[in-house]
């Protein structure tokens, strides 16, 4: 995840690090229910005066390296909800026209075409299945619209279960943090393992272990790199649906070099 701390460097430098295969731009934090959709990139730029259009250069730089760049919608602090199927469809069309392959005079991140949409929905849950279906309808043209989701590890996720049940999601990065009942604990790994097995057996997608990149990045759930390499990765890699590790976030990863330490083992 990139976008929520101005101190994490540019999107271009994030991708030039060679550490990531997918970058989620966080967040489209306001949408639905009659709200004016709004992207929030913290200290990076101000979308109000078209100040974020230069992010297009970074998006293209990442894509040239074969890295997918997704728009993450929602987040922990956003103001968002969907009030009906029609509302979901209109939000999907807004995202298509402003961030994906559609057209609009007001594209907040400029004219680069993102690879897909990440659902980081942390409150409310109605009609996100309709949002996913509408976004997927745009696959019929040319470039595929990838869909990803960041559910909390307790299963099923209250906000995302209906959306995930559509079977349209390519990637699921389960947040194994801020949820002590299912995050990894070296003294008692069975809660984590049971949760991972439940997730991977429930949906057809690539699954990622979502973790904080530093102890400060979350309230709980940080796993030291050596523990991850020795105790978590050998277990999760047994699943044919294993995709990798998701980290919150680039800013914290820069501080700890977490991904550099684990990448050879992922």
The residues that bridge with 38 in the sheet, in sequence order, are: 30
Task: Note the pLDDT tens digit of each residue in 125-151.
Answer: 999 999 999 999 998 878 899 999 999
C-alpha of 33 from chain center:
22
**Distance separating alpha carbons of residues 177 and 228, to the nearest angstrom:** 14
CATH code at position 68: 3.20.20.80
The first and second tokens of residue 94, run together, are 């807004």
The span from the CA of 3 to the CA of 11, in Å, is 8
Q: What is the pLDDT along the chain (266 residues), one digit of tens a residue?
A: 999 999 999 999 999 999 999 999 999 999 999 999 999 999 999 998 889 999 999 999 999 999 999 999 999 999 999 999 999 999 999 999 999 999 999 999 999 999 999 999 999 999 999 999 999 999 887 889 999 999 999 999 999 999 999 999 999 999 999 999 999 999 999 999 999 999 999 999 999 999 999 999 999 999 999 999 999 999 999 999 999 999 999 999 999 999 999 999 99
Q: Rounded to an integer, what distance in angstroms lies between the CA atom of residue 134 and that of residue 130?
A: 6
- How many whole angstroms separate alpha carbon 109 and alpha carbon 111? 7
Q: In this structure, are residues 181 and 175 in contact, taking their beta carbons and an 8 Å threshold? A: no
Longest dimension (CA), the chain: 55
110 in any annotated domain: yes
Contacts of 199 (CB under 8 A, 6+ apart): 151, 153, 155, 172, 174, 207
Structural domains counted in the chain: 1
Is 113 inside any structural domain?
yes
Kindly state whether residue 179 falls inside one of the protein's structural domains. Answer: yes
Tell me the residue range of the domain where 92 lies.
6-265
Give the span between the Cα atoms of 56 and 45, in whole angstroms: 12
CA-to-CA distance for 60 and 214, rounded, in angstroms? Answer: 28
The verdict on residue 1 lying in a domain is no
CB 26 within 8 A of CB 55: no
Residue 219's pLDDT is 98
Residues forming the active site: 122
Mean pLDDT (the chain) is: 97
């Amino acid at each position: 995840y990139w976008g929520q701390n101005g101190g994490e460097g540019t999107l271009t430098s994030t991708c030039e690090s060679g550490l990531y295969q997918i970058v989620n731009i966080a967040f489209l934090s306001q949408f639905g229910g009659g709200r004016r959709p709004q992207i929030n990139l913290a200290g990076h730029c101000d979308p109000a005066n078209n100040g974020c259009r230069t992010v297009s250069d970074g998006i293209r730089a990442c894509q040239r390296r074969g890295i997918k760049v997704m728009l993450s919608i929602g987040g922990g602090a956003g103001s968002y909800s969907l009030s009906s199927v029609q509302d979901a469809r209109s939000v999907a069309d807004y995202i298509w026209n402003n961030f994906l392959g559609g057209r609009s005079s007001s594209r907040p991140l400029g004219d680069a075409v993102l690879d897909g949409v990440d659902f980081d929905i942390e409150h409310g849950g109605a009609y996100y299945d309709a949002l996913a279906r509408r976004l997927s309808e745009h696959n019929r043209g040319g470039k595929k619209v990838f869909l990803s989701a960041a559910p909390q590890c307790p299963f099923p996720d209250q906000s995302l279960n209906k959306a995930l049940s559509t079977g349209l999601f390519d990637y699921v990065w389960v947040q194994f943090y801020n949820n002590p009942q299912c995050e990894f604990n070296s003294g008692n790994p069975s809660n984590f393992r049971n949760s991972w097995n439940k997730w991977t057996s429930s949906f057809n997608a690539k699954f990622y272990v979502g973790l904080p990149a530093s102890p400060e990045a979350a309230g709980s759930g940080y796993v030291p790199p050596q523990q991850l390499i020795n105790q978590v990765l050998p277990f999760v890699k047994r699943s044919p649906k294993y995709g990798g590790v998701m980290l919150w976030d680039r800013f914290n990863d820069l501080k700890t070099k977490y991904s550099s330490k684990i990448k050879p083992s992922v």
